Structure 1
Amino acid sequence: MEDLAVLPLFFRLKGRAVLVAGGSDAAAWKAELMAAAGADVTVFLGREAADEALLALEADGRVRLSGAHWSAADWNGFELALGDCDSEEEAQTFRARAKAEGVPVNVIDKPAYCDFQFGSIVNRSPVVVGISTDGAAPILGQAIRRRIETLLPKALAEWAGLAASLREAIGARLKPGGARRAFWEHFVDLSFSGSPDEAAADRLLTRATQIAASPQTGSVTLVGAGPGDPELLTLKAMRALQSADVILFDDLISPEILELARREAKRMLVGKRGGRTSCRQEDINRMMLDLARAGKRVVRLKSGDPSVFGRSGEEIAALKDAGIPVSVIPGITAASALAAGTTTSLTHRDCAQSVRFVTGHSKKGALPEDIDWRAIADPTTTTMFYMGGRTAGEIGARLIAEGLPPDTPVLIAANISRPDERRWFGALAMLGEGMAEIGHDNPVLFGIGQVFARKAALAEARLIQETGRRYANRGRAPCCG
C-alpha cells in the first residue's frame, strides 16, 4: 500500500446530533449533506441572516435554525461540529471549543482547523463513493466525480438494496471463501446490466444453491496488460484484476497496473525477458495448473496482447489438456500503441495495403530462417518487428538484400506508452545504428514502411536545424522522445 494523504472513512450519522455554525450558502450545503445522511442538524446563526437555502431546509423540516451564537450552545450530545468562520481567530476559537468537548470538527475552507474533510460524492445510496484530493485540488475532485458518475448506472442503488436483502440468506448457503465470492462476483456482473426485475432474487438464491452443491474448481484468465500505460487497460481486464486470487505477472508489467489489482490477490513474478534468466514456460504452466486445481481464480497477466507473441497458445493448450477453464482478455498490442502515440495509420491507403507483425528472433535467439523474407520485403506493406533488438542490423541487411529500398523509412521505439518512451526515425540502411542508439535493454519495437515517411522527414528537418546539413547528408537521425 502506497502512502495515503488521508484515510477515507464512512461515518454513520442517522439520528445523531450535528452542530453547524453560520448562515451562509456554504453552511447550508454542509447542513443539507448532513441531513441527507440522517443527522439531526441544528444551525446556530448568531447575528447572521439565514441563507435562502437554509430557510428552505427549515421549511422542509430537515434542519433546525437557532438565533443563538454557537458559543452559547449546549454542546452535550453533539457528535460533529461544522463552522463557517470568517476570521482566523474565530476559527481557532471554534476548533478549541469542539476539541474541549471531544467533538470532531470541520471549519469550512480552513483545512488547518479540520479533523475531517468533505470530498466529492457519487450517490448511488447505499453505494456511496467519496473522492478526496486532501484539499489540494477540489476542481480535480469534481472532475473525477463526473467521470465516475458516467461509469456507475443509476440502477446500482437497486442492486445494492437487493444485495442487502440477500446477504443473510447467501451467508447461510455459502461458506466464506471462493464459493461465496464467486456468487457475489456474478452478482456484480448482473448489477451493471440494467435494473433487477421481480424474479432476480429467486434466481440468485437458486444460483447460490447450485454453487454450494457443486465442487469449486479454479480457472485461468490470460489478460493483456497493454504496453505499459495503465489507462490502456480494458474495462474487462480491470474486472479480472479485481476478482483474481493470484496474479502471475510478466517482468514488463508496470507497478501502476499491479496497483489496480485486488488488494488481497497474491502477486507472483514469472518474468520472461529475452537474453536474461527467466522462468521456464513449463514452470509457469505447472504453477497455473496447481493454483487452478486448488480452486484459485488465476490471472496470467501479460504485457501487450496475449495472442501477439505472448506464447498464449502453449499456455492455453496446457490448461485445456488438464480440463482447466481458460479465457483470454485481449490487450493493446505495442504496435497499436505506437501507431496511436505517433498519430500514424499503419494501413494508410496511400502507403500500405497490409500490415504484418513479425518476430525478430527465433527460439534460439538468432535471425529467424523460416520466414519468407522476400514476402516481408514488400514496399506496400507496413511491417512491425517485435523482439528484434539484437537482430535489427541483420534484419535491415536481409530486407535490403531481398529488394526493399535502403531509404525505406524506419521507426524504432522503446518503452512504448510509458513516461520514458524513446523513438528513433531514419532509413532502413541505418537500422542497426538506430538500434544501437536506442539500446535493447528495454522492450523495443520497430516498424518499417512508407507510413513512417512523414515522421522520418520531420526528424531529418529537425536534425538539419539542430546539427547542420553535414550530419543530415550522412543519413543519421536523432533520438527523440
Structure 2
Amino acid sequence: MFFKLDGKRVVLAGGGEPSLWKAELLSAAGARVEVYSESFAEGFRELASSPPSGQLELKARRWTPEDLVSAAMAVGAFSDDGEAAQFASAARAAGVPVNVVDRPAFCDFQFGAIVNRSPLVVGISTDGAAPVFGQAIRSLIEGLLPVSFKRWAEAARSLRGEGDRLGDTMEKKRRFWQRFTDLALRNADRGPTSAELEQLTGDISEEATRHPVVIIDIGPGGAEALTLGAVRALRGADDIFFDEDVPAAVTEFARREARRYPIASGRENSQSVATDMVTAAAKGGRLVRIRTCVAPEASAEPDEAGALRAAGLSVVVLLPGHAP
C-alpha cells in the first residue's frame, strides 16, 4: 500500500536521529509534519527551515493524545516500550495508522526501502525483520531501473487524462498501455519523445494491433530457464494455455487477470487445443501457449503451431534457455 500524504498532517513523536530520517521522508512525500519532542537532534532545525517538499514544524513539548486527532498518520521513535505502547494505543484510539520505529509489535504498517523513480516507486519490505537486507535489495533493483523510467512514468500519468483517445473500450485502452510499455522497455535509456507519444495515441487499425501467438517451450530449468522474451510475453498475455505440469512459478509471471486454460497431459489432444486457441485469438488479445519438454527433440513444433498458422495466425516459438 502507498499512502497519499500530499498536504496531509502527520504526527511524528521523538526528536532523535531515527525521527530525523522519517521527518525527511515524510516531508519529501508532501506531508505537513509536526514533530513533538522536548529536544531535537542536530539537523532538525535545518530540515525545518528547508523541507524537501512539504512542511515541517517543530513542537518543543511531549506529544499528547489530542495531537493525534485528525492526523493522516502517526510515527513514533521511543527508547522505552511503555511509551511506545501508549503512543500506538492513542493513535489507534484516534483511528490513525501508526508506526513505531524499530518496534514491529506496535506497528500497523512498516516503512519499506524504496526505489524512487517517482511517480514510479518500488517498495521493498522485510516486515521489519531485516531492514539492512531490504536496503541491499533496493540497491540491486536501482541498478535495474534506469533513472529515465521516471520520464516514462510521468508521460503515463499525463496520458491518463486522454480518455477515449487511448481507446473507446477497456480492451483497447489496455492494448494502448501494452504498446506504451513495449516502447518504454525498448528505450529504457531515455524518455519518450513527443512524436512517439503522438504516434501511440493515433488511430491504429485492428490489423496493426494483432499479435502473434507465442509458444513457450520450457525445459527442466522451469522458471529459472525462461528467457527475457518469454517473461515479457507472459506479462502481456490475455489468454494463457498451459500444460498441467507447468510449474506454478512460470505462470506466476502473468497478470492476475489473464485468463488461464490448463491442458491435460498427452499430445493426442493438440488439434483440439489449437482450435480453442484460434477461438481465443479471434478476440484480438495476446495469447501465450506454454508447453513442457524434457528432451531437445521435444522442442520441435507439434501440430498446434501448424494449425494456428493454417488459421491465418502468426506464431512465434520460444525455446528454453539455460538455468544459471
User: Residue 273 of structure 2 aligns with which residue?
Assistant: 284
Q: How far off its partner does 1:167 sit? A: 2.0
User: Residue 151 of structure 1 aligns with which residue?
Assistant: 144
Structure 1 unaligned blocks of 5 or more: 1-8, 341-481
Decide whether aligned partners of structure 1 residues 306 and 245 sit closer, same or farther in structure 2, where only a CA change above 3 A counts: farther
Q: How far off its partner does 1:282 sit? A: 0.9
Structure 2 unaligned blocks of 5 or more: none
1:24–1:84 contact (8 Å) kept in structure 2: yes
Q: Distance in 2 between the 1:12 and 1:180 partners?
A: 25
Q: Deviations over 1:287-325 (max 9, x none)?
A: 221111221211111235998513425333222222212
1:224–1:305 contact (8 Å) kept in structure 2: no
| 1:301 corresponds to 2:283 | no
User: Residue 191 of structure 2 aligns with which residue?
Assistant: 196
1:23 paired residue among 15, 31, 36: 15
Decide whether aligned partners of structure 1 residues 165 and 312 sit closer, same or farther in structure 2, where only a CA change above 3 A counts: same
User: Residue 316 of structure 2 aligns with which residue?
Assistant: 327
Q: Deviations over 1:170-223 (max 9, x none)?
A: 5334023332222211111222313235xx334333333332675864531112
| 1:233 corresponds to 2:226 | yes
Q: Secondary structure at the match of 1:52?
A: coil
Q: Distance in 1 between the 2:133 and 2:292 partners?
A: 30
User: Residue 49 of structure 2 aligns with which residue?
Assistant: 59
2:76 paired residue among 59, 73, 83: 83
1:84–1:108 contact (8 Å) kept in structure 2: yes
Decide whether aligned partners of structure 1 residues 269 and 215 sit closer, same or farther in structure 2, where only a CA change above 3 A counts: same
Alignment RMSD (CA, Å): 2.5
Decide whether aligned partners of structure 1 residues 231 and 170 sit closer, same or farther in structure 2, where only a CA change above 3 A counts: farther
Q: Distance in 1 between the 2:47 and 2:113 partners?
A: 21
2:11–2:67 contact (8 Å) kept in structure 1: no
Give the TM-score normalised by structure 2. 0.89
Q: Deviations over 1:43-100 (max 9, x none)?
A: 1122x3x222323312314522121111286334322110001111111111122122
| 1:37 corresponds to 2:23 | no
Q: Distance in 1 between the 2:166 and 2:90 partners?
A: 51
Q: Distance in 2 between the 1:321 and 1:263 partners?
A: 31
Q: How far off its partner does 1:101 sit? A: 2.0
User: Residue 107 of structure 1 aligns with which residue?
Assistant: 100
Decide whether aligned partners of structure 1 residues 322 and 307 sit closer, same or farther in structure 2, where only a CA change above 3 A counts: farther
Q: Distance in 1 between the 2:65 and 2:261 partners?
A: 61
| 1:10 corresponds to 2:22 | no
Q: Secondary structure at the match of 1:163?
A: helix
Q: Distance in 2 between the 1:229 and 1:262 partners?
A: 18
Decide whether aligned partners of structure 1 residues 167 and 19 sit closer, same or farther in structure 2, where only a CA change above 3 A counts: same
| 1:310 corresponds to 2:299 | yes
Decide whether aligned partners of structure 1 residues 279 and 204 sit closer, same or farther in structure 2, where only a CA change above 3 A counts: farther
Decide whether aligned partners of structure 1 residues 325 and 95 sit closer, same or farther in structure 2, where only a CA change above 3 A counts: same
Task: Trace 1:148-297 onto structure 2 (pairs within 5 A).
Answer: 148-169=141-162, 171-192=164-185, 193=187, 194-197=189-192, 200-211=193-204, 217=210, 219-273=212-266, 280-297=269-286
What amino acid is the match of 2:165?
A
What amino acid is the match of 1:222?
I
User: Residue 71 of structure 1 aligns with which residue?
Assistant: 64
Decide whether aligned partners of structure 1 residues 236 and 256 sit closer, same or farther in structure 2, where only a CA change above 3 A counts: same
What amino acid is the match of 1:281?
S
Task: Trace 1:333-344 onto structure 2 (pairs within 5 A).
Answer: 337=323
2:213–2:287 contact (8 Å) kept in structure 1: yes
Give the TM-score normalised by structure 1. 0.61
Larger radius of gyration: 1
| Residues paired across the two proteins, number | 319
Q: Distance in 2 between the 1:212 and 1:263 partners?
A: 28
Which is worse superposed, 185-194 or 17-26?
185-194
Q: Secondary structure at the match of 1:74?
A: helix
1:170–1:208 contact (8 Å) kept in structure 2: no
Q: Distance in 1 between the 2:151 and 2:70 partners?
A: 34
1:305–1:331 contact (8 Å) kept in structure 2: no
Q: How far off its partner does 1:228 sit? A: 4.2
Q: Distance in 1 between the 2:217 and 2:136 partners?
A: 28
Q: How far off its partner does 1:20 sit? A: 0.6
